[in-house]
Amino acid sequence: MTTLQCISPIDGTVFAERETLTPDAASDAARRARAAQPAWAARPLQERIDLVMAAVAAVGAMNDEIVPELARMMGRPVRYGGEFGGFEERASHMARIAEEALAPIEVGEDARFKRYIKRIPQGVVFVVAPWNYPYMTAINTVAPALIAGNTVILKHATQTLLVGERMARAFHGAGIPEDVFQNVFLDHDTTSSLIASRAFDFVNFTGSVGGGKAMERAAAGTFTGVGTELGGKDPGYVMEDADLDAAVDTLIDGAMFNAGQCCCGIERIYVHESLFDAFVEKAVAIVNGYTLGNPLDEVTTLGPMAHRRFADEVRAQIDEAVGMGAKAHIETFAADDGGAYLSPQILTNVTHEMRVMRDESFGPVVGIMPVKDDDEAIRLMNDSQFGLTASLWTRDLARAEAVGDRIETGTVFMNRADYLDPGLCWTGCKDTGRGGGLSVIGYHNLTRPKSYHLKKVTS
């Protein structure tokens, strides 16, 4: 066994620790999930929906405890109130569309034949969730997987060690059987062994590119489906006709909220040269108004990064960029301790030769470049190994659609950013990974098609 430790970014102390399951215990958990799946799938759809939504409400009832607990585990300021709004929104949407999304596809029936396609649960779904939005990212898959008739095993990130336990407590208390939804603590080797032994029928992983590759390597040759959402370097593009104030407010918030630790956070901004100076001036003023500090303090608007090593990587990218000629616009904040508490930063005079414009930063830093037209902006937006979202700012819907068609990304936003719409497929391309969560397509990935070709006896 291995001891997993959550180190609080507030003060560097151990906030929680748990022992991982032995390989035998982990295998037993997977066997119990498989044994429980047929009976769960046999329950009426509405019963599964009702149980999942009762579980969601039970999580909401814990919110007063969850908010400070999240601050202690990963540093998000308590003033923002946690994740229950998005958690409930996503689960509720998937509940609303379940009957239609999971309905058989009627191909045709006549006197001789009846033909249709059913959506069949994958079986046992393994969810590996990240720490940055630990409740919302988990529910993206957990809710529709259970509603579709799968059993679920959840492995949460060490940085948010207590999230899976809270979800299990809520789900079991709402009446979902313990073997149908399990929270487990696993080391990497045991995780890989379970996947390689076909313990799961579908794996959903949100995390690093390296972690996604490890999942795919473990699944190689098993034909187990693997859905991934990995790194991002999401761009914003401000066109000359944009609402400048709205663009600055939204894009800078998208770059800095949660200390920049958002899957679809804005990491690079391209501004038409006619608006560039004004955009930068307004952006600097916004960031200079932030209060960096203890996330348990209501006045704090920017908490520490979740771990010192994450902050060290952002500092390294900033220092390298400045050394290559970038201009840093934000002075070091008083609360910056050289550790997890990191000053936000805006950089100009940046180029794509700098890591801060290429590598995922996942921190409170953004580079801003002027562009002369759509072609230049599209070329720069596509000059990335990642493709999760892109945010376009213009008053011209047709232009946004035309530019969006040329961008290599999973989602195109117009006049908004850093939002996950549960009615749309959450997906990416290139090193951001493959697959799709939420929406009707999310249900398609959590089920498999089964065709029925039934010939009638007519004599």
What letters, b where the CB count within 10 A reaches 16 and e where it falls short, cover 189-228? ebbbbbbeeebbbbbbbbbebebbebbbebbeebebbbbb
The count of residues in the chain is: 459
> What is the CB neighbour count within 10 angstroms for residue 97?
19
- 45 by Cβ neighbours in 10 Å (0-12 / 13-18 / 19+) ranks as middle
Per-residue CA distances from 229 to 314, 407, 410 (Å)? 21, 18, 11
User: Which letter does DSSP use for residue 257 in this model?
Assistant: G
Residues 6+ apart with CB under 8 A from 150: 37, 40, 41, 121, 122, 123, 124, 125, 201, 202, 446
Find residue 228's DSSP bridge partners: 205
Residues 6+ apart with CB under 8 A from 97: 439, 440, 443
Per-residue CA distances from 173 to 92, 156, 181 (Å)? 19, 20, 11
Catalytic residue among 6, 263, 264, 425: 263
> What is the CB neighbour count within 10 angstroms for residue 396?
14
Distance of alpha carbon 191 from alpha carbon 218, whole angstroms: 9
Distance of alpha carbon 58 from alpha carbon 173, whole angstroms: 8
Beta pairing class for 386-387 and 389-393 = unpaired
Separate counts of helices (H) and strands (E) for the chain = 14, 19
Distance of alpha carbon 290 from alpha carbon 302, whole angstroms: 7
429 annotated active-site? no
Q: In this structure, which amino acid lies at residue 240?
A: E
- Residue at token pair 């290559």: 324
Beta pairing class for 113-121 and 105-109 = antiparallel
Q: Which two tokens stand for residue 279?
A: 């955009």
47 annotated active-site? no
Catalytic residue among 83, 88, 229, 360: 229
Report the candidate in 438, 394, 408 with the shortest Cα–Cα distance to residue 89: 438
Q: Which residues are catalytic?
A: 229, 263
